[in-house]
Amino acid sequence: MAVTIKDVSAKCGLSISTVSKAFNNYADISLETRELVQRTAREIGYYPNAIARTLKTNRSYNLGVLFQEKRGTGLTHSFFASVLDAFKSAGEKRGYDITFINHHIGWTGMTYLEHCRYRNVDGVCVVCADFYAPEVIELVDSNLPVVTIDHSFNNRSCVLSDNIGGLKLLVDAAYQKGHRKIAYVHGEKSSVTENRIIGFYRAMQEHGLNVNMDFVVEALYDNPATSMQAVLNLMNRPDPPTCILLPDDHSTLGALQAAKQLNLRVPEDLSLAGYDGIRLTQMLQPRLTTIEQDTKRIGAQAAEFLIDRIENPRTAGSETATIPVKLLEGESMGICPVKADAANS
């Protein structure tokens, strides 16, 4: 015979309505009561019926995730994988499942908004997408609760990594080591790129350094080949930089290859720095100097913003959270060769 909510109620010594509220995360039910109900349900093998819960609460307890990146790395990308894992964990703690939003259901094409409605999601987190695409804007302008990561829209909550501050930390570190000819190889156009460029120029200005416009060049994110070519071009200039900041940690692999081709030692002849703080690149020799992004906090905060908006539509306004970053000092950024020569003379 199937276990019912009445059995949970009897086992806990609580009313059926209290048990029901506990399953549906009502605010007037204490944490102790919710934990008691959930623990008892597991012990006797009771699982709430998702369809019944949807009919009762008018919510599906399903969060949509829009993750559309064009680089081909998909969920193998360490940064996005970590952000999504944190988002998923935070959602599950609040009783929500995750559904990825895309263009197709089988062979049927549809917009992101149509897919959201088809899957009956309660809200959507836009993790990675072309934020300027018409169908993304259509989704953001809809009546669905939407939270974005690393891009802000009017009247929508967003979670931003401190990209301006991250570049400032890198320029500060290079300046303290005597570097004055600092180049920045940035990624393709996006809000993230724009903020990092702002951080670079702002930090250079604060240190009284003129920016050589030929030292600010574009490559592709997570594409070592384009960064390798950018570094080769920079270092073949008559007056090359002594320190180069790369778009991300993966791109430093291309920069290291370029240095090898030019018979330059890192960091003795050329200093390099990445961005993201990916664990694998901390095993490089020399160990990479980079910026570590707090991916767990980014993902968890996005989930909290979205769920609060779903559950408290009248009181949860649009919020922006800027998550701090941290400098990881490795060995790839050394003392500027000119400064070192002066000290030894």
Q: Which CATH superfamily is domain 5-57 in?
A: lambda repressor-like DNA-binding domains (1.10.260.40)
- The whole-number pLDDT of residue 345 equals 41
Residue 39's region, left for phi above 0, alpha for psi from -120 to 50, else beta, is: alpha
pTM: 0.81
CA 29 to chain centre: 33
Residues in contact with 268: Cβ distance below 8 Å, sequence separation at least 6, in sequence order: 334, 337
Phi first, then psi, for residue 283 (nearest 5°) are: -100, 0
For 2-16, write each residue's pLDDT tens digit.
Answer: 778 888 888 889 898
Q: Which pLDDT tens digit goes with each residue over 232-279?
A: 999 999 999 999 999 999 999 999 999 999 999 999 999 999 999 988
Domains 5-57 and 62-161+295-324 fall in the same CATH topology: no
Largest CA distance in the chain: 89
pLDDT in tens, 89-112: 999 998 899 999 987 766 667 899
Contact 310, 123 (CB under 8 A): yes
| pLDDT band for position 344 (cuts 50, 70, 90) | very low
- Residue ranges covered by each domain of the chain: 5-57, 62-161+295-324, 163-293+328-344
CATH homologous superfamily of 62-161+295-324 equals Response regulator (3.40.50.2300)
> Beta strands of the chain (E only): which ranges?
62-67, 97-101, 104-105, 108-109, 123-128, 146-149, 157-161, 182-186, 216-218, 243-245, 271-273, 290-293, 320-323, 325-328
Domain 163-293+328-344 sits in CATH at 3.40.50.2300
Q: Closest Cα partner for 168 from 51, 331, 327, 321? A: 327
Overall average pLDDT of the 155-179 stretch: 97
Nearest-angstrom CA–CA distance, 302 and 322: 11
Residue 115, token pair as written in the block: 């897919």
Q: Mean pLDDT for the chain?
A: 89
pLDDT digits (tens, 9 = 90+) for 298-320: 999 999 999 999 998 877 778 99
pLDDT(50) > 80 = no
At residue 222, does pLDDT exceed 50? yes
Quick: pLDDT tens for 109-140: 789 999 999 889 999 999 988 898 999 999 99
pLDDT for 339:
59
What confidence tens digit (pLDDT) does each residue in 192-203 have? 999 999 999 999
What is the spatial distance between Cα 98 and Cα 303, in angstroms, rounded to a whole number? 11
